[in-house]
Amino acid sequence: MSNSAPPAFEAILSAPAAFEQIRTKSGCGGPGAEPPVSGRGGAGRKARRRRHAPAPENAPTPKRTLALKSDKGAAILEFTGFLPTLLLIGLACIQLGLVGYTFSQAGSAARAAARAASLEQNADAAGRAAMSDWLADGASISAPPGATTVTATVEVDIPELIPFVDMGWTATRTVTMPMDD
C-alpha cells in the first residue's frame, strides 16, 4: 500500500494552489493588493471603482432623500388599513361557529322533545332542558302527538355577533319518534 492519495484526490488537494496561480496571473493580486488601473486581465469592478478622499470630520452627513423619508411608518398604515378586513374575517369565522352550534342545540332539543312527547311527558320542558339557557329563551318547540308517531319541531333564532344587524336567521330541526305504548 502506498501513502499517496488517489489521482482524483490529488487534483482536489492541489486546487488552492491552482487558484492562487490564476489569481496572480489575472491581475487580481492577493489580499490587500491594489488592483490594476488599466488593462483587461479580469480586474472586474475593483479596477473601475473610483477612490474618494475621506470626508473631513466636521463635514455634514448627507440627508436622506424625501422618497426614503416617506417610507417611515408605512407598515403601521398598511396594518391599520388591513385591520378592519382582518376583524371582519374573524367575526365571520366566529359567526359560522355560532351557526353550527345553534343547529346542534336545535337537533338535541328536537330529539329530547320528541322522546318526551312519545312518553306522554312535557315536550316543551324537555326540549328547553336539552339546550343552552341562552339559546332556549328564543326557541319555539312544538311536538303534537300523532296516532303512532310524534314529530317534534324546534326553531331557534341564531344570534348575530354584529350589533344592530338583524339577519333573521333561524335553525330548524325536526325529529320523528314512535309513540311508546
| pLDDT value of residue 17 | 63
Which is more confidently placed, 47 or 109?
109
Cβ neighbour number for residue 172 with a 10 Å cutoff: 13
| pLDDT value of residue 68 | 55
Phi/psi at 78 (5° precision): -65, -40
114 touches 143 (CB < 8 A): yes
Query: What is the overall mean pLDDT for the chain?
Result: 79
Closest CA to 125 of 134, 116, 133: 116
Percent of the chain at pLDDT > 90 equals: 41
Residue 151 has pLDDT above 90, yes or no: yes
Residue 46 has pLDDT above 60, yes or no: no
Mean pLDDT of the region 96-111:
95
The cell for 64 is 436622506
Lowest pLDDT segment from 35-39, 131-135, 158-162? 35-39
- The answer to pTM > 0.85 is no
The cell for 169 is 336567521
E strand or H helix at 91, and its extent? helix 74-118
| pLDDT value of residue 15 | 62
Summarize pLDDT for 60-76 with one digit per residue, the tens. 766 655 555 667 788 88
Cβ neighbour number for residue 136 with a 10 Å cutoff: 17
Residue 1 has pLDDT above 60, yes or no: no
Buried b (16+ CB within 10 A) or exposed e, 93-126: eebeebeeebeebbbbbbbbbbbbbbeeeebbeb
Lowest pLDDT segment from 15-24, 89-98, 151-160, 163-172? 15-24
Closest CA to 145 of 107, 180, 172: 180
DSSP label of 14: T
Summarize pLDDT for 111-131 with one digit per residue, the tens. 999 999 999 999 999 999 999
